[in-house]
Chains A and B, each alone.
Chain A
Amino acid sequence: KQEVTQIPAALSVPEGENLVLNCSFTDSAIYNLQWFRQDPGKGLTSLLLIQSSQREQTSGRLNASLDKSSGRSTLYIAASQPGDSATYLCAVSAETSGSRLTFGEGTQLTVNP
């Protein structure tokens, strides 16, 4: 059974700092890995999707990397802003889980002005 773990559970940083969020998964036979953002009381917004054959994806100040063999992904946020404050969730789609998305519990990020 696929398990997804995110570290840290919560992170508070001053504005302007670069930061890294971590995600690990137990089953490396994945189709893809996605990073989502969830604002309080809202649904999830997909930020980046990395196919199993890719190593990284970039969108603006966000960069996500994937090391499938070690079961790890990182989300790098450059020059953080207060508007980046949210919960970030990692999710994987793996063959052994019937192609369903398995989510981590998220990292709650607070960027202080």
Chain B
Amino acid sequence: DTAVSQTPKYLVTQMGNDKSIKCEQNLGHDTMYWYKQDSKKFLKIMFSYNNKELIINETVPNRFSPKSPDKAHLNLHINSLELGDSAVYFCASRSAGADTQYFGPGTRLTVL
């Protein structure tokens, strides 16, 4: 009965490949987020979706494309992976009118 789940937990891939990370929340939340945590443990927002609509898109390369098939899912697709994409990616969700964000366990992406 995990609230926010991400798959896979670990992802090791070669430069130039295309990969996806999936996020699902079973909390009935309206808003979902993707964050990137770099090697220095610094968190930065990438995207935010509300009811399947994109509402925040930070200065992220267009190789990163979020896809929200429904309110409970926000997947992250990355094209042409680069070494600098290596990081831990966190998904989070929040209910409308509430302030607390619930984070997924993170996906550690390593690009070789």
Are the chains A and B members of one assembly? no
